[in-house]
Chains A and B, each alone.
Chain A
Amino acid sequence: MTDQEIKHSILEGNQESFKQVVDDNQSIVLNTCFRFVNNSEDSEDLTQDVFVEVYKSIHKFRGDSKLSTWIYRIAVTKSLDHLKSKKRKKRFGIIKSLFGEDDKMKEQLPAKETERPDKLAENNDRVKILNWALESLAENQRVAFTLSKYDQMSYNEIADILETSVSSVESLIFRAKKNLQKKLHSYYEQHLE
């Protein structure tokens, strides 16, 4: 079935067509969300939200990109919205802590190397540090870099998701890396023994 046929089939209430769309795209949506939010539970919730949005908004799919690209665009948008919402709650938590209402400051960066009790979660720590550094990037650089690190996504697909050209994607990734290198250098200057 073509993407337009799938769209019309879902609009007519065909559950099998919708199920097929979910089965075909679930893995990439889940792992795309995971690379942004770095939390498996949040990623599962976001995946559910993405497909609910797909079902409710399928009439808006115009067919100027692939259906899968349109779905991944929704996944990226939902992930970024989730991160913004989390940041707002964190800011509110900081204000509360100033008034002594909340003493817990979660999501601390990993301690200095010599202070960590073990090195078992080394890559997990690096992912946390990378996500911290990514927060300082412009949104389009962050998205381009994050998606480029996922094997299943080509530069062409990233360009379709961002609704830009492949050369723009390459430029965004290049700038993202430069900015991340600066940020990470200053982090390791302070934290590396």
Chain B
Amino acid sequence: MNRKEKINIEVEKTLNAFEKVDELESNPFLITRLQAKLDEDNLSANRKNAKNLAAIISPAVFLVIFIINIYTIFNVYSTKTTQPSQNVLDLFAKEYSLGENSYYNNNNFNR
């Protein structure tokens, strides 16, 4: 047998190598492993969804609180700078008996 024939034989044997491969045995626990993997994937997916929801809601809540705070601060400062109305002053004076009819303004004081 010359070298060329030897090579041809080796090539043919190699081309048919897959036919001599033993079949692998199925894993009887595959379904259990699959169930565990699917449960784990579901858990990860739920956690991811919760994180995504938090990522959306948190800035929104922050924004709402921020707006409320700004509105409150604006209102408080607006109230402080406003002068009280005359009616309010008159009522205040009457309440505490202030003004021209006060005791210290009577002629009696100047006796």
Candidates A19, A27, A44; contact of B23 at CB < 8 Å: A27
A30-B24, A40-B24, A52-B34 as given contacts; A149 in contact with B14, CB under 8 Å: no
Is B3's CB under 8 angstroms from A192's CB? yes
Q: Are the CB atoms of B37 and A52 closer together than 8 Å?
A: yes
Instruction: State the Cβ distance, B6 to closest chain A Cβ, in Å.
Output: 6
Q: Using Cβ atoms and an 8 Å threshold, which residues of chain A touch B34? A: 22, 48, 51-52, 55
Residues of B within 8 A of A150 (CB): 18
Distance between A188 CB and nearest chain B CB, rounded to angstroms: 5
**Shortest beta-carbon distance from B79 to chain A in Å:** 60
A52–B41 contact, CB under 8 A? Answer: yes
B27: CB under 8 A from chain A?
Answer: yes
Taking CB atoms and an 8 Å cut-off, the chain A residues in 81-102 that contact chain B are none
Who on chain B is nearest to A150 by CB?
A: B18
B31 contact from A19, A40, A192, Cβ within 8 A:
A19
B41 touches A188 (CB 8 A): no
Q: Is B61 an interface residue (CB 8 A)?
A: no
Query: Chain A at the B interface: mostly helix, strand, loop or mixed?
Result: helix
Contact in complex: B13, A192 (CB < 8 Å): no
Q: Which of A63-71, A72-80, A156-164, A177-185 contacts B (4 or more CB under 8 A)?
A: A177-185
CB of B14 within 8 A of CB of A126, answer yes
CA distance A31 to B26 in the complex (A): 9
A40 to B30, CA, bound (A): 14
- For B15, list chain A residues within 8 Å (CB): 130, 177, 180-181, 184
State whether A123 touches B30 (Cβ < 8 A): no
CB contact under 8 A between A185 and B31, given known A35-B18, A52-B38: no
How far is A189 from B23 in the complex, measured between Cα atoms in Å? Answer: 31
Residues of A contacting B33 in the complex (Cβ-Cβ under 8 angstroms): 48
Given contacts A43-B24, A129-B14, A146-B18, 14 further A-B contacts (CB under 8 A): A22-B30, A22-B34, A26-B27, A27-B23, A31-B24, A34-B21, A47-B30, A52-B37, A52-B38, A127-B17, A130-B15, A151-B19, A177-B15, A184-B10
Q: List 15 A-B contacts (CB under 8 A).
A: A15-B35, A22-B31, A30-B26, A34-B24, A35-B21, A43-B24, A47-B27, A55-B38, A123-B20, A126-B17, A130-B17, A181-B11, A184-B15, A185-B11, A192-B6
